[in-house]
Structure 1
Amino acid sequence: MSFSNATSSAPIARKADGPDPYAWLQNRDTDEVLDYLKAENAWQ
């Protein structure tokens, strides 16, 4: 997963299949979640 810090729009979290499409964000130690959170924090 890659994110650009130079974009004018906020990063968009992917939606997984299942009853909670954002449950994957609960796994805070995975590279995917950490990359997403870094991109979200860098976005202004």
Structure 2
Amino acid sequence: MVEATVTREEIPQILSDIVTKLMAKNAEDRYQSAFGLRYDLELCL
């Protein structure tokens, strides 16, 4: 999978990392709960 920052340089790296984690093929590499996702999204603000 191509990272979002490769195709769109204006996307912040942290947001690209979140999207990559959300789309991970292996379930153990994805967020285990919505709380983890919420925490990382709050870091973007």
TM, length-normalised to structure 1? 0.32
Which structure has the highest helix share of the two? 2
TM, length-normalised to structure 2? 0.32
Larger RCO of the pair (alpha carbons < 8 Å, separation 6+):
1
